[in-house]
Chain A
Amino acid sequence: MSLVLILNLIWQISTLALVALGLAIVFGKLRIMNMAHGEFVMIGAYAPVITASLGLPGWLQLPVCILTVALVAFVLERSVIRHLYGRMFDSLLATWGIAILLREGVELIFGRGYQSVSPPIAGTVTILGADYPAYRIAVIAGIAVGFAVLAWWNRRSKVATRIKAMVGNPELAQAVGINTARLSAGAFVFGCCTAGLAGLVLAPTIRIEPMMGLDYLIRAFFALVVGGLGSLEGLAIGAGIIAGTQSLLGALASQTYGYLAVLTLSILFLWLKPDGIRPSSR
């Protein structure tokens, strides 16, 4: 296996894990099957387009991205999503409608055309004799640090436990003084913001257009299903299996076989190991 292949694999796994993280929170914790998840990735990817069209400096891309996504997510949570806790299939249908709404909204503002974003770090670097895009190396490092921080925080903070308590028994959680409305809104907005962040960091390496979200949704769902909804390790393992299968079969056979293998693998997991490799400790 060549070094570039391994770097590609790490790139695929880390970006998929970042894309799926928000879905793991929204689907795994809040039990909302968010079909509009990919659209938040899309909005995040438009952040550099927003700053460029407003003439803002490049360093504002991150705050603009987080603010835009958080605002959209908050409005949607208050108006639609909060009615859907505990109604999983209805959440799937309503968020499908939301996905169309967001696509059309972005199209109204920016048009249907493709946008192009330049990477903040251009060119390739040579690692052990292999050329690899410098920007990707930086992103991989950033995601690794981000997940380490998240794992540390997750272990220390009580938020995850509270969310679990809330989903398990909303009345009881309310009775012991958990502000469920604020907690669930916060979790939803946070989940969407990580998706937006994923869009922002991916932006220079992908196509950007209103319809791009669907590419990310399905893979994220399958990564969650394979890994299990319970933990960050599960998320990483799921992303590894899904991205790894696509990458390896794509490299060894063809992308079509890679795609079919990912689907088949997902079906086998859904059938034989519905709680994934790392089930949540419910």
Chain B
Amino acid sequence: MASVLLPASLLLAVLMLIPELFGDFMAYQIGLYLIYGIAAQGIGYLWGKTGVLPLGQALFFGVAAYVTAIALRDVQGLGAQLVLALLVLAVLAGAAFVLATLIFRGRSESGPYFSLVTLALAMIAEQVAGTATGLTGGFNGLSGFQSLAALDPFGGFYYVIVAATVLVSLLLLILNRLPATLIARAVADNEPRLQLLGFPTHVVKGMAFAFSAVIAALAGGLFASHQGIVTPTSTGFALSAELVILAAVGGRFHVFGPLLGAVVVGWASAELRDSFPYWELLMAVAFILVVLKAPGGLAELIERAFRQAWPAKPPVPQPPLEAPPPLAAQAAQPLKFQDVELRIGVVRILNGVSFETPATGIVSIIGPNGAGKTSALNTITGNLHPTGGSICLGDARIDMRPPYRALGSGIGRKLQVPSVFFSMSVSENLTIAMMAGRARRLDYLKPSTFRWRSAALARVLEHPSVPLKDEVTQPVGTLPQGHRQFLEFAMTAASAPPVLLLDEPCAGLSPDETALMTDLVRQYQAETGALVIVIEHDMSIVEAISDKVLVLHQGRVLAFDTYAAIRADPQVSMVYAGGTK
């Protein structure tokens, strides 16, 4: 708790001292910077954690500012005004959530398109605000209303801003220490992986966006009361860009970064504007330098310097906690492909694939490169949707579901190239895996969730030869390839899915590690009675583990039988002798 309360109280103390030290006018100026800083903090969270860059945040800032201005003019009584404020925040949050989830649904990236949507929305808002003179006062703005509770903008209202700044910072500091933010960071790190762990990433992004929108709206409300006027510039493109710049310069990865950026940039431009004619040139160069040389902004530079003087203490390991059982428990079931076709553009990848696996056991998929092995797995998890035919697990059709529903249907998947959360530590990776398929809504807000461990995970981690035990605090980016393979296997096995898909689990492993991996796969199958489907090139491994072997060639099933029968099949021999491999 000290790591939260200490910085928050320091911030409070500094801000409370400003009027005493520098006078009311300076406090008034700082007040405006803090208001921008609050809105930029919301951007910092959204962009720094989930990787989504909002380019139209002034939309929420401005709409809230206009509503506040109208309310301060027309609604009597502080109580009614505050109720209205809560209502407006709720409506904006809802709108932002719906917008982001709709746009992100069915995608697994945070590229520029959503950013451009928010930009276009802000531009629409600015134009409407300028044109709808009756409602907004047009270009000249809406003015002639009192400050909130008739507080003096040069006096008492500063403390309202301080309270809001400290509260938002406190909220962010706490949030950053909760599992919810771990999931948000995982979105930026490796979204496809997170989807395969059963997290609907579009909902995660929608919530983060709604959160940042509420913060921007709160700042907008303060702005109207502080300035006594709202004009279309408060809801437009330029302010949106400005807020992003504040977050970038100050540092989007830190709670206080955007506040720092707002005060530094605001103060510097106010000082320079009238004393140095080339100030815009100077600011532009400084900004380019920050983007190129210090992408983490001022806050990261400060933190680096601070950490050199006072290195961070390694986290104290917490005793593990038995994780709750998976929310949807299923039994192993046979997987049925019926005439599955897959075309991408003009390329035919699967040409009527049909087979039915047993309900349990290990099935290997082999075939030359380009046979459609990985694509077949992609259709099972919903990363690709077949253009014909159907895929059933037991009696349920699964082929049109999005990837985040796969785990809920009982399908876990390990990808070809080890796909883990590279910017996080091993233990953070494992925590996300533990939450997969188990966490309920409130668990995202409980720190105890970090300590969840399950028996299935323990079996992998405590296997005497698995290397991960001694590496729990290390960032995954520094692990060797082989260790990442084991980590991803452990993460996939952690939720004990009754259907486990493994795409070349032994790629890049040494002979010893290969033996260990095949051991682990067999052990998993034996203990859970699961159906395990493995793509494998190495025939000795195939022979060692397979109950049945599926041979794919040019998007068709060539054979589906025991290893011995496959071995004797002249057609299969021909394909392999043909020299593709």
Q: Which residues of A contact B (CB under 8 A)?
A: 33, 80, 83-84, 87-90, 92-94, 96-98, 100-101, 104-105, 108, 218, 221-222, 225, 256, 259-260, 263-264, 266-267, 270-271, 274, 281
Contacts and interface: CB of A to CB of B under 8 A. Distances in A.
Contact of B113 (A80, A93, A104, A270): A270
Nearest to A266: B120
Contacts of B127: 256, 259-260, 263
A80 B127 CA distance: 34
A256 B131 contact: yes
Given A80-B288, A270-B103, A225 B248 contact: no
B284 to A, nearest CB: 4
A101 B281 contact: yes
B111 interface: yes
Given A263-B124, A270-B113, A97 B345 contact: no
Contact of A97 (B115, B121, B291): B291
Interface in B99-113: 102-103, 107, 111-113
A98 B120 contact: no
Interface string B9-22: 00000000000000
Minimum-distance CB pairs A-B, first 8: A100-B284, A97-B288, A97-B287, A94-B291, A101-B284, A104-B281, A97-B284, A263-B120
Interface of B: 47, 53, 102-103, 107, 111-117, 120-121, 123-124, 127-128, 131, 241, 244-245, 248, 278, 280-281, 283-285, 287-288, 291-292, 295, 345
Contact of B111 (A88, A105, A218, A263): A88
A94 B292 contact: yes
Given A263-B127, A266-B120, A270-B120, 20 more contacts: A80-B292, A83-B292, A88-B112, A93-B248, A93-B287, A93-B291, A94-B288, A100-B281, A101-B285, A104-B278, A104-B280, A108-B281, A218-B123, A222-B116, A225-B116, A267-B117, A270-B113, A270-B116, A271-B102, A271-B103
A174 B232 CA distance: 49
30 contacts: A33-B112, A80-B288, A80-B292, A84-B292, A90-B291, A92-B115, A93-B244, A93-B287, A93-B291, A94-B287, A94-B291, A96-B241, A96-B287, A98-B288, A101-B285, A105-B281, A221-B116, A222-B116, A222-B120, A256-B131, A260-B128, A263-B120, A263-B121, A263-B127, A266-B120, A270-B103, A270-B113, A270-B120, A271-B103, A271-B117
Contacts of A270: 103, 113-114, 116-117, 120
B298 to A, nearest CB: 15
A113 to B, nearest CB: 16
A92 B112 contact: yes
B284 A274 contact: no
Given A270-B103, A271-B102, A274-B107, A90 B113 contact: no
Contacts of B281: 100-101, 104-105, 108
Contacts, number: 88
B125 to A, nearest CB: 10
Contacts of B241: 96
A259 B127 CA distance: 9
A264 B124 contact: yes
B453 to A, nearest CB: 36
Contacts of B114: 270
Given A33-B112, A101-B281, A274-B113, A90 B120 contact: no
A260 to B, nearest CB: 6
A260 B125 CA distance: 10
B289 to A, nearest CB: 9
A218 B116 CA distance: 10
Contacts of A88: 111-112
B112 A266 contact: no
Nearest to B119: A218
A259 B280 CA distance: 30
A90 B285 CA distance: 15
A168 to B, nearest CB: 15
Contacts of A101: 281, 284-285, 288
B53 A89 contact: yes
A93 B241 CA distance: 9
A84 B295 CA distance: 11
A270 B278 CA distance: 38
Nearest to A104: B281
Nearest to B244: A93
B291 to A, nearest CB: 4
Contacts of A221: 116
Given A80-B292, A92-B112, A270-B113, A260 B124 contact: yes
A265 to B, nearest CB: 9
A276 to B, nearest CB: 10
Contacts of A274: 107, 113
B59 to A, nearest CB: 12
B288 A266 contact: no
A100 B285 CA distance: 9
Nearest to A224: B116
B300 to A, nearest CB: 14
A256 B116 CA distance: 20
Nearest to B109: A274
Contacts of B47: 89
Nearest to B248: A93
A83 B292 CA distance: 7
Contacts of B115: 89, 92
A72 to B, nearest CB: 15
Contacts of B111: 88
B284 A266 contact: no
Nearest to B279: A104
B348 to A, nearest CB: 15
Q: Which of A93, A101, A225 has the most CB of B within 10 A?
A: A93
A225 B53 contact: no
B345 A281 contact: yes
A90 B112 contact: no
A185 to B, nearest CB: 17
B87 to A, nearest CB: 26
Nearest to B346: A281
Q: Which of B124, B284, B287 has the most CB of A within 10 A?
A: B284
B186 to A, nearest CB: 18
A90 B295 contact: yes
A225 B288 contact: no
Contacts of A33: 112
A268 to B, nearest CB: 10
B8 to A, nearest CB: 29
Nearest to A33: B112
Nearest to B286: A97
A94 B248 CA distance: 11
Nearest to B285: A101
Contacts of B244: 93
A218 B102 CA distance: 24
Given A260-B124, A267-B120, A270-B103, A97 B285 contact: yes
A155 B130 CA distance: 47
Nearest to B347: A281
Contacts of A266: 116, 120
Contacts of B288: 80, 94, 97-98, 101
Given A89-B53, A267-B121, A100 B280 contact: yes
B123 A263 contact: yes
A221 B113 CA distance: 11
Contacts of B121: 263, 267
Contacts of B283: 100
A83 B288 CA distance: 11
Contacts of A264: 120, 124
Nearest to A221: B116
Nearest to A35: B241
Contacts of B120: 222, 263-264, 266-267, 270
B245 A93 contact: yes
